[in-house]
Chains A and B, each alone.
Chain A
Amino acid sequence: MERVPILKIGDILLVSIQIDMSDQTAVTLQEDLAERIVATGCHGVIIDITALDIVDSFVGRMLSTIASISKVLDAETVVVGMRPAVAITLVELGLSLNGIRTALNVERGMELIAATRDDDPGYDDDPEGVESGTAATSP
């Protein structure tokens, strides 16, 4: 079985799904991520699905579950890079991706997580390596 790598960048865990995942690979990713959130104390998870040419109900449910698990473990999840055809298909399939925050790309996903943490009065460290503000220009 293939495994999806999880990268740590500053206060964020970045998962870029580059393979056509079997259901077992998706379940393993869910468990690996929960472990890495606890092990690293990261407060943000970015899941990049730019390379996915479909998201079916199983992967959709995995994304929702990851978002819920991270929330319980005090981390925000943002799904980035969804292709337009995938978005159209998801809506027609009937998946609403409840509780999932999305952004157009990784850079905006990082900004979204940083902004969320800044708004939270119970959290006062600045996440390392994340530029706050609006200076970033996206393509």
Chain B
Amino acid sequence: MTAGVDLGPKTQAIGSDEDVVRVRQLVRTVAVAAKLSLVDQTKLVTAASELARNTLIYGGGGTAEVTVVEDGRRRGVRIVFADSGPGIADLDLALTDGYTTGGGLGLGLSGSRRLVDDFDIQTAPGEGTRITVTKWSR
């Protein structure tokens, strides 16, 4: 494995605007260490920025955990965004391009899903939201 680079899980709290910037920087560092291509790094960092902002604005804050993962053939970067906010009542609607309850463009969830390879969301009203995304090297 890559000597000298710590590939263990790293967690960043999301409680402010500045933390969204820190999530981007953390994800970029890990994506570079995991040797994702430049375009894949850019897509993953962009998706992380959207999802971290959602965690802050809609989830009332939470955490992002960034891990390097392997499936035997390839290496990837997985990020878990977790909050204990109000959850999402209508997931299909929330994943529709242009739908927003917060005055944004409504591209955060739907757009970031297009930018990653695996996208999983677990949520229920009153039970918070947990979104797991993975980008694999090619």
Contacts and interface: CB of A to CB of B under 8 A. Distances in A.
Contacts of A53: 28, 42, 45
Contact of A57 (B17, B25, B43, B111): B111
Interface string A2-15: 00000000000000
Nearest to A60: B105
A22 interface: yes
A58 B53 contact: yes
A89 interface: yes
Interface residues of B, number: 27
A24 B115 CA distance: 25
A107 B111 CA distance: 33
B65 interface: no
Interface in B66-104: 97, 104
B42 A22 contact: no
A47 to B, nearest CB: 18
B124 interface: no
A18 to B, nearest CB: 14
Contacts of A55: 46
A61 B114 contact: no
B5 interface: no
Contact of B49 (A56, A84, A85, A92): A56
Interface of A: 20-24, 53-58, 60-61, 83-86, 88-89, 92-95
